[in-house]
């Protein structure tokens, strides 16, 4: 067993460095910019049952030490996703790297989307299904599901009954009850938690005297949110025993190691890809070097290790 291998519930990954949904396309778009085979896994862009046009532009803007985004889950809908992306995803990524992210408004949407994935990918063709209950950019579903323990439980319970994939519950940590939401995911048998750690923010164009984003507000990504993400991971690690995939502000291997010491079993690399499409591979190299230099033989030695301070 390689010292970088990590198991999250029923999910077995070759290493803990993952590409975060919405920041790595469907994998194949990154070919030619980085070595996809080095990723522990890639969460594909969230797909919903029906097509979504997304939010009013502008949808992204740079801010100090990061970016704002407000995409609004733009995607072509499940039927088109399967038709255009299924084969490309399967060709670009190994089965153990493929995480399909689904979003929805109602329980039924998630169940139908999960069932559509199961019709097109057998359980040994993907690593996991990611239930996106984290998106703060949509009026219904997404973040609304992830901010209510009861709603998240309903979604996870129905999806688990419908399909046989390992399940990752992606929640946001913006609400004060995120530990309760995480406990609900644990109770409902999720294999792992993915935490987005992207608080809402806003920028104003001082010349035009109006908000920069068409949707006015959007989550802040990038190094600016790193300390907050570490703190939320720290709290969550104490609240649940589910493996945590930490994301938010990871642009360097040092940030990834901080997340792991706070309690994350794996890390999701998001907007760093827009600055450096090879960021995840460089972060993985750094984590490996850190382990060598510090005589860490197994990742589990560092996961949550800072709690013993």
Ligand X SMILES: Cc1cc2nc3c(=O)[nH]c(=O)nc-3n(C[C@H](O)[C@H](O)[C@H](O)COP(=O)(O)O)c2cc1C
Residues lying near ligand X in the complex (CB under 6 A) are found at 20-23, 45-46, 60, 69, 71, 73, 101, 132, 134-135, 170, 196, 198, 221-222, 225, 247-250, 268, 270-272
Residue whose CB is nearest to ligand X in the complex, by number: 22
Q: How open is the CA angle 19-72-133, to the nearest 5 degrees?
A: 60
d(CA 86, CA 58): 29
* End-to-end Cα spacing for the chain: 29
- Residue closest to 197 by CA, chosen among 162, 223, 232, 167: 232
Nearer to ligand X, 221 or 233 (CB): 221
Quote the least distance from Cβ 210 to ligand X, whole Å.
21
For residues 306 and 262, the answer to whether their CB atoms sit within 8 Å is yes
Nearer to ligand X, 3 or 77 (CB): 77
Nearer to ligand X, 249 or 263 (CB): 249
Q: Which of 23, 93, 135, 179 is catalytic?
A: 135
Assess whether 135 carries a catalytic annotation: yes
Quote the least distance from Cβ 309 to ligand X, whole Å.
25
Write the CB contacts of 244 (distance below 8 Å, at least 6 apart in sequence): 192, 193, 195, 233, 236, 237, 263, 264, 265, 266
Nearer to ligand X, 35 or 62 (CB): 62
For 251, list phi and psi in degrees, rounded to 5.
-120, -10
Nearer to ligand X, 68 or 179 (CB): 68
Quote the least distance from Cβ 132 to ligand X, whole Å.
4
For residues 6 and 265, the answer to whether their CB atoms sit within 8 Å is yes
Quote the least distance from Cβ 6 to ligand X, whole Å.
19
Quote the least distance from Cβ 202 to ligand X, whole Å.
15
Nearer to ligand X, 114 or 225 (CB): 225
Q: Is the peptide bond before 37 cis (omega within 30 degrees of 0)?
A: no
Quote the least distance from Cβ 106 to ligand X, whole Å.
18
Token couple for 208: 């035009």
For residues 196 and 103, the answer to whether their CB atoms sit within 8 Å is no
Token couple for 53: 């046009």
Write the CB contacts of 32 (distance below 8 Å, at least 6 apart in sequence): none
For residues 80 and 45, the answer to whether their CB atoms sit within 8 Å is no
Annotated catalytic residues are 135
């Amino acid at each position: 067993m390689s010292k970088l291998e990590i198991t999250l519930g029923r999910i077995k990954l070759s290493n803990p460095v993952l590409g975060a949904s919405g920041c790595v396309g469907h994998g194949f778009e990154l070919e030619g910019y980085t070595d996809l085979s080095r990723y522990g896994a890639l969460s594909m862009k969230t797909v919903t049952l029906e097509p979504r046009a997304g939010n009013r532009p502008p949808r992204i803007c740079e801010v100090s030490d990061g970016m704002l985004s407000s995409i609004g889950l733009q995607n072509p809908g499940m039927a088109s996703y399967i038709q255009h992306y299924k084969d490309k995803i399967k060709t670009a990524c190994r089965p153990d790297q493929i995480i399909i992210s689904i979003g929805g408004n109602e329980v039924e949407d998630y169940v139908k989307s999960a069932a559509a994935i199961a019709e097109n990918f057998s359980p040994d063709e993907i690593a996991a299904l990611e239930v996106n209950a984290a998106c703060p950019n949509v009026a219904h579903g997404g973040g609304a599901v992830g901010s209510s323990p009861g709603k998240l439980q309903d979604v996870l319970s129905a999806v688990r009954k419908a399909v046989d994939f390992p399940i990752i519950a992606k929640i946001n940590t913006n609400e004060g009850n995120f530990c309760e939401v995480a406990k609900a995911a644990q109770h409902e048998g999720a294999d792992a938690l993915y935490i987005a750690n992207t608080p809402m923010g806003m920028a104003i164009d001082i010349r035009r005297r109006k908000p920069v984003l068409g949707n006015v507000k959007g989550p802040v990504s990038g190094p600016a949110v790193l300390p907050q993400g570490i703190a939320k991971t720290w709290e969550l690690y104490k609240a649940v025993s589910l493996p945590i995939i930490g994301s938010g502000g990871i642009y360097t291997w040092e940030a990834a190691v901080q997340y792991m010491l706070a309690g994350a079993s794996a890390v999701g690399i998001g907007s760093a890809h827009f600055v450096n499409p090879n960021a995840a591979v460089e972060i993985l190299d750094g984590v490996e070097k850190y382990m060598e230099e510090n005589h860490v033989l197994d990742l589990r030695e560092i996961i949550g290790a800072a709690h013993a301070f």
